[in-house]
């Protein structure tokens, strides 16, 4: 039995349901025989003690006017004050000591731009083709779970905002709304990608892939950097009510390890997933397959050998294994260990991108496009308008960075535009240690 039913037995659970679920989800999950009718609100029902709220704002004071927000960081500060403690912890948390999370941000600050001057930069262009899909800018919305915790429209608002700004939305496998509703919220012909966690019940993954293909989803981003969830302590420390994803069906409920939504919702993920399964995913879906979470040059080369369509360099926003290198460092590693990959497939990157200059640096180093995740969750304080405003800020910053660097088209971005000297010592050239000769006896 669903944990929310157990918790609210004999009571009205409508509020708990509506806070995080799509209204249509109940019709999708129940048969006609199971639907018993509508209840009448009654003051006679006893109250139910609940853990930390996930959807009721902490600070009910008036939030700043949207026009007052001029940076990505402004959205985070508003969300920090506005979202519930549990919601903000779920969105902002990262693994253990947050080393990789902070490294993601700091790595871009250590790469310097080398602008050229006396160029005619009156007009600039930044459209990009991403897996054959046109985008008005070289960035997209990375998959982020349970957006309805931030706003009643959740992923619907993200889809609408992306449609208005003509950028691509990668729908999370743990979205609050059913896949069909999210796609329907967009404009006709709007491009969507799907993030996939392979379910240990493979039949469910096959059903989801067929549904995605039928809805016109353009590609599948298979998450490969999280066979198990990372330990996100800020998320674990705060208990929360029970949640269910409308896409994956994953249930989050508190247990003896804590109340981490990321951990308990990930129990359905198949940790046996391996390279040989990629052909099955491609066959079932009939869609381009992208590996999301590649973190070494060796695995990038494996991706080429297994015929995937593209890769996304990512460390899961620092939310899986802590102390792993930032994706921008992995991008540089690819140039040293398998440079041929840049002519073989598209390469995306996410993690720590907060400025237009960050986007330009990644593109100059060979990325096709970049993903931005957490900031879009924070923008949902303002719903669809927040999504659009955040996108406009990033576009404006990118245009400024291009003009000040002396280029007029995003395709002109090149490695000579950046100085990577600060991070060059971090770039590995082989899979073996540069000077340790000891090797374990176990087969790797």
The response to whether 197 counts as a known ligand-binding position is yes
Residue 52 pLDDT class (50, 70, 90 cuts): low
pLDDT tens by residue, 119-142: 999 999 999 999 999 999 999 999
The response to whether 392 counts as a known ligand-binding position is no
Specify the pLDDT at position 345: 98
Dist. CA 175–CA 78, nearest whole Å:
23
Dist. CA 198–CA 277, nearest whole Å:
10
- Report the mean per-residue pLDDT for the chain: 89
Query: Which of 316, 335, 389, 411 is flagged as catalytic?
Result: 316
pTM of the model: 0.88
Q: Does residue 57 have a pLDDT over 80?
A: no
**Token code pair at residue 160:** 């609408």
pLDDT tens by residue, 330-351: 999 999 999 999 999 999 999 9
Contact predicate 42/196, CB 8 Å: no
| Separation of CA 320 from chain center | 13
Q: In 3D, which of 27, 7, 20, 18 has the Cα closest to residue 250?
A: 20
Q: What is the mean pLDDT of residues 353-372?
A: 99
What sign does the CA torsion over 166, 187, 91, 251 have? negative
Residue 18 pLDDT class (50, 70, 90 cuts): low
Measure the CA dihedral 314/421/107/139, to 10°: -60
Dist. CA 195–CA 175, nearest whole Å:
10
Annotated catalytic residue 316 = yes
Dist. CA 299–CA 324, nearest whole Å:
15
Contact predicate 21/176, CB 8 Å: yes
How many residues are given for the chain? 444
**Token code pair at residue 372:** 């931005």
Instruction: Name the DSSP letter for residue 372.
Output: E
pLDDT tens by residue, 232-263: 888 888 765 555 556 665 554 555 555 567 66
The response to whether 353 counts as a known ligand-binding position is yes
| Separation of CA 53 from chain center | 23
**Token code pair at residue 211:** 């549904």
Contact predicate 76/375, CB 8 Å: yes
Task: Give 421 or 19, the one with higher predicted confidence.
Answer: 421
Percent of the chain whose predicted confidence (pLDDT) is above 90:
74
The response to whether 433 counts as a known ligand-binding position is no
The response to whether 95 counts as a known ligand-binding position is no
Instruction: Name the DSSP letter for residue 103.
Output: H
Residue ranges covered by each domain of the chain: 66-426
Dist. CA 277–CA 288, nearest whole Å:
14
The response to whether 31 counts as a known ligand-binding position is no
CATH, domain 66-426, list 3.20.20.70, 1.10.3720.10, 3.40.50.80, 3.40.50.720: 3.20.20.70
The response to whether 195 counts as a known ligand-binding position is yes
The response to whether 352 counts as a known ligand-binding position is yes
Instruction: Name the DSSP letter for residue 427.
Output: -
């Amino acid at each position: 039995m669903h944990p929310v039913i157990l918790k609210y037995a004999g009571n009205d659970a409508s509020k708990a349901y509506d806070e995080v679920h799509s209204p249509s989800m109940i019709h999708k999950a129940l048969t006609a025989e199971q639907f018993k009718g509508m209840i009448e609100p009654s003051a006679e029902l006893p109250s139910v003690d609940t853990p930390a709220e996930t959807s009721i704002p902490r600070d009910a004071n008036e939030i700043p006017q949207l026009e007052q927000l001029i940076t990505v960081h402004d959205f985070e500060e508003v969300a920090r004050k506005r979202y519930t403690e549990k919601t903000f912890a779920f969105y902002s948390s990262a693994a253990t000591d947050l080393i990789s999370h902070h490294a993601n941000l700091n790595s871009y600050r250590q790469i310097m731009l080398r602008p050229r001057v006396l160029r005619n930069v009156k007009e600039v262009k930044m459209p990009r083709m991403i897996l054959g899909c046109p985008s008005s800018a070289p960035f997209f919305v990375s998959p982020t779970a349970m957006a309805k915790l931030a706003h009643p429209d959740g992923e619907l608002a993200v889809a609408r905002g992306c449609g208005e700004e003509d950028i691509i939305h990668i729908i999370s496998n743990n979205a609050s709304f059913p896949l069909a509703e999210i796609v329907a919220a967009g404009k006709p012909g709007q491009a969507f990608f799907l993030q996939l966690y392979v379910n240990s019940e493979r039949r469910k993954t096959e059903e989801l892939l067929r549904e995605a293909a039928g809805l016109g989803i353009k590609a599948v981003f298979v998450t490969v950097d999280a066979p198990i969830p990372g330990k996100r302590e800020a998320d674990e420390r705060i208990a929360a009510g029970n949640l269910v994803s409308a896409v994956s069906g994953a249930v989050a409920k508190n247990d003896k390890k804590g109340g981490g939504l990321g951990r308990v919702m990930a129990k359905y993920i198949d940790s046996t997933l391996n390279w040989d399964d990629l052909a099955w995913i491609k066959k079932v879906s009939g869609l381009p397959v992208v590996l999301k979470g590649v973190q070494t040059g060796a695995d990038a080369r494996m991706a080429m050998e297994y015929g995937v369509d593209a890769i996304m360099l990512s460390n899961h926003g620092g939310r899986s294994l802590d102390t792993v290198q930032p994706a921008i460092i992995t991008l540089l590693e690819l140039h040293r260990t398998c440079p041929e990959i840049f002519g073989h497939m598209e390469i995306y990157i996410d993690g720590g991108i907060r400025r237009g200059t960050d986007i330009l640096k990644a593109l100059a180093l060979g990325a096709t496009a970049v993903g931005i995740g957490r900031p879009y969750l924070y923008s949902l304080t303002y719903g669809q308008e927040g999504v659009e405003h955040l996108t406009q800020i990033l576009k404006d910053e990118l245009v400024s960075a291009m003009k000040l660097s002396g280029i007029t088209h995003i395709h002109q971005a090149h490695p000579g535009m950046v100085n990577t000297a600060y991070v060059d010592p971090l770039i590995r050239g082989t899979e073996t240690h540069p000077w340790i000769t000891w090797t374990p006896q176990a087969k790797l």
